[in-house]
A and B are shown apart, each in its own frame.
Chain A
Amino acid sequence: MRYLLIEDNQKLAGAIVERLQLDGHAVDHADRLDAASACMDVADYDLILLDIMLPDGDGRDFLQRQRRAEKRTPVIVITARSAVSDRISLLDLGADDYITKPFDFAELEARCRAVMRRQGGAADNQKTFEGTVLNLTTGALQFGDASTNLRNRELRLLEVFFAAPGQVFSKSHLIDRMFSFSDEASENAIEVYVARLRKRLEGSGARIETVRGLGYRMIPA
């Protein structure tokens, strides 16, 4: 996915960019509104992450301008304000969702997915491996005539394998990708979810192989 991050705090922006890139996303960063507009003129983004307080204006004005210009790129506002009234006014201004600082990237990712699902722009956000198609937004898994919807964690796990088929992922890495920090996760949990995925993938062209001592990888069936 391609994100546009509009955030004036350089440190935070840097951290967010690095964090999103870890999950394989492309991120452009603008630290001012005019820079953001410039970015949007030259590129299409799947999603905009917008901070409110910016040196050359209020993020809410930018939001309003976007909506008036009929630009439908989903916007998730990153706000430092947690009061309900502030959040509601953001939604009224046209934000698709908001997330309060500090935030869990797992949650951010879930919200992005939810926003994109609502936008209907989910169709092209999918990956194929050996005739098996995984929609990263909706979690739909298709092979042959079969179609099933993955649950959230299953999707997040499978997404890792689809991103790099054949690559071996350690259990520890998979835990990082699958669980949020509030969850108490164990390596056993990975085994449970891998077992579930194998069941989901039965009859497809893909299967998950255990690489003893190293982890798991997805290979053609």
Chain B
Amino acid sequence: MKQPTSIRKRLFFQLAAVAAVLSLAFVMVVRGVASQAAEGTQDDILAASATAIADSLTSEDGKVTLELPYSALSMLGTINEDRVFYRVMVQGETLTGYADLPVTRSPRRLDTPAFSTEIYRGDEVRVASVLRRVANTATGSEVVVSVAQTRSGLAAISRRITITATSVGLLFFLLATTLSLLAANSALRPLRRMTGAVTRRGPSDLRPVTAEAPKELVPLVDALNSFMGRLRSSLSRTEDLISEAAHRVRTPLATVRTQAEVTHRKLNKPEHKKAIRDMIRAIDESSRSAGQILDHAMVTFRADSLALDPLDLAALINETCDRLAPTAGLKDIALLRELPDRPVPFNGDGIMLQAALHNILDNAIKYSPEDSDITVRIASGSELRISIADQGRGFGGMDLKDLTTRYSRGANVGDVVGSGLGLTIADEVAHAHGGRLELSHSKEGQGACVSLILPYV
């Protein structure tokens, strides 16, 4: 599988490659210029030396003669310890100096020294020659003065410069590489910041990304936002579709159920009545499940962007109890409320909390025997505890820990209809508020007690 390419790596390597090329170019140029300068310096000194010697040429008794100036050679020893040779030729005959010093390039003009590089006595030498005419001589007047010097000093200078330039180049390269790394990181920081901003979101947070983005990323952000917009509208369409579907199904269901009730009333044979009753119960069960599934979806959706509104929990509980009292009354079940008279303030999502309470109470009513009590209590200490205790079958000796686990968030929803999902909803609401759902046996000794425990924020 192909590894995903990394912008950071690519950026870094490209910058580093540029730095490497620049470093190399720097080393080459410095070396070139420096050795040229050094060579030039040597040439200048050699030419100066040859010129000084030429200046001391005289004629004596019609012959060219020379008094070698001390400085002409000593100046060559001032900058290095290279070997020095010289040769003075009159009309091609060596007057003095090293007669075997090769002079391959003779100067053609009087004022222009000629330079050449030769091998002499096993070493490379640089030779500078100047041409002079000495007047009043019988033998002729063309004198060539050549001064030569080995180039080990030059080589040493060149070596030193190379080392320095290479070190500087290397240092530059390392520095540039480090900076490249920093630059690559810093260039990608906005991207990482945005990635973070998007990653931290909840699964259903589809608001546009507002994190500040550099110009280059604006199209990406726009595309992302437009995509999320489409997703959002698609999701809301889906939600609409689901509730629309529910609506569409519920109306015919209601018709069927009503007609079934009418039919049921008109029928006399118990077996016929039973068949209709079973049908009606099936309708009720599926309607209840559909309601819970929608509630669950709503709770999951809201949990991602939990609203923290100031609420009065006592009022909320009263409202829910009022709402469910007629249902409970059908079985002669009394909803007893042990609530304080004063408001119980709490910051939370009212709709979610109501869904939780509704589902817990609905469960309790469903599993309570007729002529029994359901008690709703609220206790506040370090945290709020809303407990709903019934006198029903309880949890049938099941391990409560197991139950909690089983009904905790992410439990399999598909095959748990009815009470299971109701508790799951309550559990998720509790967790969304940083709290938990506690299942226990009622204080009264029988029946179940479900407690919704909410911490104060």
Q: Say yes or no: A12 contacts B258, CB within 8 Å.
A: yes
Asked if residues B247 and A81 are in contact (CB atoms below 8 Å), the reply is: yes
Given A110-B326, A181-B281: A82 touches B254 (CB 8 Å cut-off): no
Interface residue? A34 (CB, 8 A): no
Measured CB to CB, the nearest residue on chain B to A151 is: B332
Interface of chain B: mostly helix, strand, loop or mixed: helix
Query: 8 Å CB contacts to A: which residues of B273-314?
Result: 273, 277, 280-281, 283-284, 287, 290-291, 294-295, 298
The number of chain B residues with a CB under 8 A from chain A is 46
Q: Specify which of A78, A102, A176 lies most central, judged by the most chain B CB atoms within 10 Å of its CB.
A: A102
Complex contact B258–A81 (CB within 8 A): no
Which residues of B sit under 8 angstroms from A68, Cβ to Cβ? Answer: none
Fill in one digit per residue for A63-87: 1 if any B CB lies within 8 Å of its CB, else 0. 0000000000000001011111110
Residues of A within 8 A of B265 (CB): 19, 22, 176
Chain B residue with the shortest CB-CB distance to A108: B326
Whole-angstrom CA separation of A165 from B332 in the bound complex? 25
Is the Cβ of B332 less than 8 Å from the Cβ of A16? no
A153 within 8 A of B: yes
Contact A172 B273 (CB under 8 A): yes
Residues of B within 8 A of A183 (CB): 330-331, 370
Contact residues of A between 85 and 111, Cβ < 8 Å to B: 85-86, 88, 97, 100-107, 110-111
Interface residues of A toward B: which range? 35 or more
Q: Is the CB of B253 within 8 A of A102?
A: yes
A84 in contact with B351 given A12-B254, A102-B258, A102-B287 (CB within 8 Å): yes
| A15 proximity list for chain B (CB < 8 A) | 255, 258-259, 262
Complex formed: what's the CA distance from A9 to B258 in Å?
Answer: 13
| Chain A residues closer than 8 Å to B414, beta-carbon distance | none
Contact A111 B284 (CB under 8 A): no
Contact indicator B257/A83 (Cβ below 8 Å): no
CB distance B255 to A12 under 8 Å?
A: yes
Contact with A along B319-346 (1 / 0, CB 8 A): 0000101110111100000000000000
Assess whether A82 is in contact with B273, with CB atoms less than 8 Å apart.
no
Q: Chain B residues with Cβ under 8 A from A85's Cβ?
A: 298, 351
A194 within 8 A of B: no
Chain B residues near A88 (CB-CB < 8 A): 351, 354
CB-CB under 8 A from B287, the residues of chain A are 82, 100-102
Are A103 and B332 in contact (CB-based, < 8 A)? no
From residue A173, how far is it (CB to closest CB) to chain B in Å? Answer: 8
Contact, CB under 8 Å: B358 / A84? yes
What string of 1s and 0s marks CB contacts (under 8 Å) between A1-22 and chain B? 0000000010110011011001
The interface bits of chain B over 220-257 (1 if a CB of A lies within 8 angstroms of the residue's CB, else 0) are 00000000000000000000000100111011111111
Interfacial residues, chain B to chain A (CB-CB below 8 A): 243, 246-248, 250-259, 261-262, 264-265, 268, 270, 273, 277, 280-281, 283-284, 287, 290-291, 294-295, 298, 323, 325-327, 329-332, 351, 354-355, 358, 366, 370
CB-defined A-B contacts under 8 Å, sample of 9: A16-B258, A80-B250, A81-B247, A82-B290, A85-B351, A100-B287, A101-B287, A114-B326, A153-B330
